[in-house]
Amino acid sequence: MAEKVFANCHSPPSLRKDLFLKQSLLFPRESLMYYNKNMDGRDMDNGASDYQRMRDAMVDNQLIPRGIKDPRVLDAMRRVPRHLFMPEPVRYSAYDDIALPIGEGQTISQPYMVAIMTELLELKGEETILEIGTGSGYQAAILGELAREVYTIERLPHLAAEAVSRLAELGYDNVTVITGDGTKGLEERAPFDRILITAAAPEIPEILVRQLKENGIIVAPVGERYSQVLIKGRKSGGVLVEEFSTPCVFVPLIGEYGWRS
């Protein structure tokens, strides 16, 4: 018994990797957290980084089994370093199947929510998108990978400033962050091919429908303050034709055409 403990403590990187892989087959999520906390993102085999492996596991275990199919969305989620969009203390959970706090009472959405919202937008690569609720900037980066131009609005100046510097460091020069009340849209850049609201709206503001192109798509969590349904609306003949998808819970959209506080 003592010998076994000793062997584990001093096992060379390749053996530790074997142990990790065995463990991960039995306890995938726990192992991922153990791995992340203890190995601190170090490369163990000169191959892809540990974070890359965690991203791949996130896509393979959380997104594909739940029906996300668009290969461009799956690729973007494998590429964008989600852990760099959150505060240091919660980075070890960056690839877990949960939303995480990003400060000021706000959250970065669960990976699956980001994936499904992005898939519902049906992006081909040429679109101009308006996102409302920049938060960490992670969703904006995913959109930046998949569309031509992204404008994203955040009402809290501190979060907006952090997102600006992260997105610049990572080279997303097709993403512009604006501080303000996104419920009013962005008249000076309208009309948009796509609009994504990433905070819970009591309803889709009419002013945003006016800023959407004919045949354009809006995706938004709509409903009560603490429970919503993801809505996809396509503008057809000047009006929004809505479909409903997954139930969800987002932080509130606060502004002139959202919740008042």
Q: Which residues lie near ligand SAH (CB under 6 A)?
A: 106-109, 132-133, 135-136, 138-139, 153-156, 159, 181-183, 198-199, 251, 253-255, 258
Check if the beta carbon of residue 187 is closer than 8 Å to that of residue 91: no
Give me the catalytic one of 11, 109, 227, 245.
109
> Has 49 been annotated as catalytic?
no
Residue (58 or 251) nearer to ligand SAH, CB: 251
Q: How far is the CB of 50 from ligand SAH (least distance, A)?
A: 22
Residue (112 or 138) nearer to ligand SAH, CB: 138
Q: Where are the alpha helices (DSSP H) in the chain?
A: 2-9, 13-26, 28-39, 50-58, 71-79, 111-120, 138-146, 157-169, 206-210
Q: Is the dihedral of CA 52, 135, 165, 125 positive or negative?
A: positive
For tokens 């992006």, the residue is 123
Q: How far is the CB of 183 from ligand SAH (least distance, A)?
A: 5
SS3 238: coil
Q: How far is the CB of 48 from ligand SAH (least distance, A)?
A: 24
CB neighbour class for 10 (10 Å; exposed up to 12, middle 13-18, buried from 19) = exposed
Farthest-apart Cα atoms in the chain, separation: 75
Q: What's the rounded Cα separation, in Å, for the pair 124 and 240? A: 21
Q: Is the dihedral of CA 117, 197, 98, 90 positive or negative?
A: positive
Residue (36 or 198) nearer to ligand SAH, CB: 198
Q: How far is the CB of 150 from ligand SAH (least distance, A)?
A: 11
Residue (183 or 211) nearer to ligand SAH, CB: 183
User: Which residues are part of the catalytic machinery?
Assistant: 109
